[in-house]
Amino acid sequence: MTKKTQVGLIFGGNSSEYEVSIVSGHNIYKAIDKEKFEVHPIWITNDGFIASEEDSFKVLDDPKYTVANPHKVANLSNLSELANLPEIDVFFPIVHGNLGEDGSLQGLFRILDKPFVGDDVLAAAVTMDKEFTKILAQRAGVPVADWIAIKRFEYDDAANPKRDYAKVSAKLGGDLFVKPSNQGSSVGVHHVTNEAEFNDALADAFKYDDKVLIEETIHGTEVETAVLGNDHPIVSGVGQIINAAGTFYSYDNKYDDNSTSKLQIPAALPEEIVAKVRDNAVKVYQATECSGMARVDSTLRASDNKIILTEINALPGFTNISMYPKLFEEAGIPYTELITRLIDKGIERYNHKKTLLHKIG
């Protein structure tokens, strides 16, 4: 009998996307090939503690489950010493947001000398930061929305011109998006068209990050594509997000059962547009040194049909309505096979890195 690969499925975490992570973990556990993999769930509660394996299994069955006495590990550096945790062959992190997809957790896996699914440290960090993603995308020749970054020390200066709606709108136009540079799932994102909205949006965005982006609004259709692989990635088809008039793809529209947004897979777009979206996705994926997986979000600008990059999500959701698994299902890779491929890619990257020299002699 072939020994099963032992998978440490890490989910939850102390971020604004905690609930999404729980549902993603639930879905991955239900879909994973249990003939090949034995799953050991590791639930990080919203206050940063690690629950027992028994409680972790319970929350995978019921995402509303709560635990009174989690294993009080102050941080994940004790992960390898958790009681009753067997030797893990590969970690599958599905911790969205802060500490989960910004390179921190990935760095821990490197220290533990374990394979893991998804991006390595550098790619996780730069794709979490929307400004660095923009800079690297521009370097790769992929268009992005024009923007201004304002840091907290600048925001604290009441005289700083970046706080002045009139001066900012003179450069970017009066129709703007304000968003934390390091957040996911549209958390803290606001569409503003006047000074009062602008001021409120800045105040809210700075609750989530020390750097906030102010972007020109790109009017058009939101399109997304999914990427899978390491050095030679494959790209799914393109999905389209159809928003109700006057709305954007907000956090609630992404995850609420009463969402006013509709997903259309495949997108009803001309072949040349689809090809350009997919080509841009590979360019950005490689420019940011992604590996494993990513979802690339763009806008098809209504005025000229130009594809403008919105962001790259290197740890996309795996909920029932998440675009990443749906896009690959449409491309002929069902959910269970997708999970297997992601695990295989993490192990493949780890094995390659073991061949690299880190010292002379």
The predicted-structure confidence for 274-312, as pLDDT tens digits, reads as follows: 999 999 999 999 999 999 999 999 999 999 999 999 999
143-163: pLDDT as tens digits = 999 999 999 999 999 999 999
Q: Is 288 exposed, middle or buried (0-12, 13-18, 19+ CB in 10 A)?
A: buried
Output the six-digit token pair for 317. 């959701």
311-354: pLDDT as tens digits = 999 999 998 788 999 999 999 999 999 999 999 999 999 999 99
Of all residues in the chain, the percent with pLDDT exceeding 90 is 70
Q: What is the mean pLDDT of residues 116-138?
A: 96
More confident residue, 281 or 18: 281
Rounded to the nearest 10°, the torsion over CA 15, 21, 25, 26 is 120
Span of 4-13, 97-106, 220-229, 273-282 with lowest mean pLDDT: 97-106
21-53 residues labelled b (16+ CB within 10 A) or e (exposed): bbbbbbbbbebbeeeebebbbbbbbeebbbbbb
In eight-state DSSP terms, residue 212 is E
- pLDDT in the model for residue 82: 55
For residue 287, the cross-strand partners are none
Q: Which of 45-54, 57-66, 126-135, 318-327 has the highest mean pLDDT?
A: 126-135
- pLDDT in the model for residue 263: 85
- Specify whether the CB–CB gap between 298 and 308 falls below 8 A: yes
Output the six-digit token pair for 98. 């802060």
Give the chain's end-to-end CA distance (angstroms, integer): 40
Question: Phi and psi at residue 309, in whole multiples of 5°?
Answer: -65, 135
Full set of structural domains in the chain with CATH: 5-116 (3.40.50.20), 127-143+220-351 (3.30.470.20), 147-216 (3.30.1490.20)
pTM of the predicted model as reported, rounded to 2 decimal places: 0.89
Which residue reads 């890779």 in tokens?
333
Q: Is 12 exposed, middle or buried (0-12, 13-18, 19+ CB in 10 A)?
A: buried
165-183: pLDDT as tens digits = 999 999 999 999 999 999 8
- pLDDT in the model for residue 69: 65
- pLDDT in the model for residue 183: 80
Rounded Cα distance between 356 and 112, Å, is: 17
- pLDDT in the model for residue 70: 64
| CA distances to 29, 55, 231, 326, 328 from 332, in Å | 21, 35, 21, 10, 6
Q: What is the mean pLDDT of residues 114-121?
A: 96
- pLDDT in the model for residue 85: 62
In eight-state DSSP terms, residue 116 is B
Rounded Cα distance between 45 and 12, Å, is: 6
